Amino acid sequence: MNVGIIGCGTMGSGIAQVAATANCKVVVYDVNEQALEKSKIALQRILARLVEKGRINQDKSESISSLIIYSADLNDFSDAELIIEAIVENPDIKKSVFQNLESIVSSNCIIASNTSSLSITSLAACLKKPERFIGVHFFNPAPLMKLVEIIPAIQTDAAVLKATRDEIDRWGKTTVQVKDTPGFIVNKVARPFYGEALRIYEEGIADCATIDWAMKTLGGFRMGPFELMDFIGNDVNYTVTETVFKAFYYDSRYKPAFAQKRLSEAGYLGRKSGRGYYNYAEGAVNPSANEDEVLARTILNRVLVMLINEAADTLYLNIANAKDIDLAMCYGVNYPKGLLAWADEIGIQSCVEQLDKLYHEYHEERYRCCPLLRKMSKSNSNFF
Ligand SMILES: NC(=O)c1ccc[n+]([C@@H]2O[C@H](COP(=O)([O-])OP(=O)(O)OC[C@H]3O[C@@H](n4cnc5c(N)ncnc54)[C@H](O)[C@@H]3O)[C@@H](O)[C@H]2O)c1
């Protein structure tokens, strides 16, 4: 397939590499010629490393390079069959690029956006042919992360959805279909991993090191919430939470935490600034975890049951099917188990009891149990 990529920053460069590795002819376009040069050089470095490690041979490396053309001229997209946009997260700039594009590409060229937070339906609406538009949400780094969320707009043609999903499956990715909803699956369902951990921390039940230890040791998560927020960047993570909170009409389940806002304001952004919840300066001493198993179990159960509630809500609102929700969390954020399968294992009744206990204790909406879980508990049924 002839593929076009718009924007060669972090995501566009990675997606171009993925497409060329799957033998697509790729044109990469950016307004910034320096960014094009940087992306080209970075790809050569990445390919050399892959050859060195024996992941690909020299022929494959040369083939990938020869399949990618870097261009500062949008007219080079005239033969494209699928275009993926990965430019700055600004709806007006994206829409103006899509409108220019429509006068260049053929009538059956699919146009896709890699946006993390904008409504796919609202972007599609700017086109003369909105039925050709779709969301394809890759994760960073695109060549390594297996998951791609495929988000049809309400205008998207069924044939466009099928062709896009088939093609990205062919690229070796695991695709999941998602209804056009803020945060899609991963950025919605993952909110309590951060939000509930922050709440436990703000209440003084445990410190960051103890919460991280509990989630990793008992839960099997690769990173604890605070390590992960420091890795992502507290500014970035806070903005995603705030965006989801606003987009869901201020549902208290997604309410951002002051603890994170203050850190962000202080410039304690995490690893990238040398300090976040932890201090990354050389020789810095960070608090060690209180390895109390009873406390750790309380922490894990509380965060986990809130994650399960969010996953159940995603199914309840028909945002995605149960299999795709579990795949998304395993491949998009490396969770050790799908949350709905985990709920089956714990027992739906126990999940409902734990949520009701939190609700009765706090009298806060954020702890309301998803009606689907309650219904399943009554009928003694499972997700799988
Ligand atoms: N970074 C992530 O972790 C991540 C993950 C998933 C999705 N996304 C989404 O992907 C998109 C790109 O994010 P990124 O992190 O790669 O951004 P980035 O800042 O690394 O790169 C953006 C690129 O777009 C170019 N650009 C800006 N305006 C342009 C225009 N009008 N025409 C052509 N090129 C233009 C810039 O020169 C830059 O090279 C955003 O919509 C973002 O929400 C990002």
Q: Using alpha carbons only, how large is the chain's radius of gyration in Å? A: 22
Biggest CA–CA distance in the chain, Å, is 64
> Which residue among 39, 116, 301, 309 is the active-site one?
116
The rounded distance, in Å, linking the Cα atoms of 176 and 149 is 5
Q: How far is the CA of 334 from the centre of ligand 1 (A)?
A: 23
Supply the pLDDT for residue 315: 98
Q: What is the position in ligand 1's atom list of the atom closest to the CA of 12? A: 16
Token duo for residue 187: 């950025």
Q: How far is the CA of 13 from the centre of ligand 1 (A)?
A: 10
The one-letter amino acid code at 198 reads L
Distances (CA, A) of 53 to 47, 89, 109, 140, 271: 10, 35, 37, 21, 27
Supply the pLDDT for residue 374: 98
Contact criterion met (CB below 8 Å) for 136 and 84: yes
Q: Atom 20 in ligand 1: which residue has the minimum CA distance?
A: 9
The rounded distance, in Å, linking the Cα atoms of 59 and 64 is 9
The rounded distance, in Å, linking the Cα atoms of 174 and 81 is 21
> Which residue among 187, 234, 237, 309 is the active-site one?
187
Supply the pLDDT for residue 13: 96
Supply the pLDDT for residue 118: 93
Supply the pLDDT for residue 204: 97
Q: Residues lining ligand 1, CB < 6 A?
A: 6-12, 30-32, 35, 86-89, 93, 97, 114-116, 138, 140
The rounded distance, in Å, linking the Cα atoms of 15 and 4 is 10
Q: What is the DSSP string of 45-69?
A: HHHHHHHHTTSS-HHHHHHHHHHEE
The rounded distance, in Å, linking the Cα atoms of 291 and 70 is 53
The rounded distance, in Å, linking the Cα atoms of 199 and 208 is 11
Token duo for residue 325: 């929700």
133-138 and 147-152 beta bridge pairing:
antiparallel
Q: How far is the CA of 118 from the centre of ligand 1 (A)?
A: 13
Which of 6, 11, 101 maximizes ligand 1 atoms within 8 Å of its Cβ, making it the mutation to test the pocket?
11
Q: What is the residue-level pLDDT of the chain in tens, covering all 384 positions?
A: 999 999 999 999 999 999 999 999 999 999 999 999 999 999 999 999 999 999 999 999 999 999 999 999 999 999 999 999 999 999 999 999 999 999 999 999 999 999 998 999 999 999 999 999 999 999 999 999 999 999 999 999 999 999 999 999 999 999 999 999 999 999 999 999 999 999 999 999 999 999 999 999 999 999 999 999 999 999 999 999 999 999 999 999 999 999 999 999 999 999 999 999 999 999 999 999 999 999 999 999 999 999 999 999 999 999 999 999 999 999 999 999 999 999 999 999 999 999 999 999 999 999 999 999 999 999 999 999
How many CB atoms sit inside 10 A of residue 171's CB?
A: 19
Q: How far is the CA of 10 from the centre of ligand 1 (A)?
A: 7
187 included as an active-site residue: yes
Torsion of CA 243, 246, 248, 253, to 10 degrees: 90
Contact criterion met (CB below 8 Å) for 180 and 121: yes
> Which residue among 85, 137, 167, 309 is the active-site one?
137
Q: Which domains does the chain have, with CATH numbers?
A: 2-177 (3.40.50.720), 188-379 (1.10.1040.50)
122 included as an active-site residue: no
CA atoms within 13 A on the CB side of 373: 29
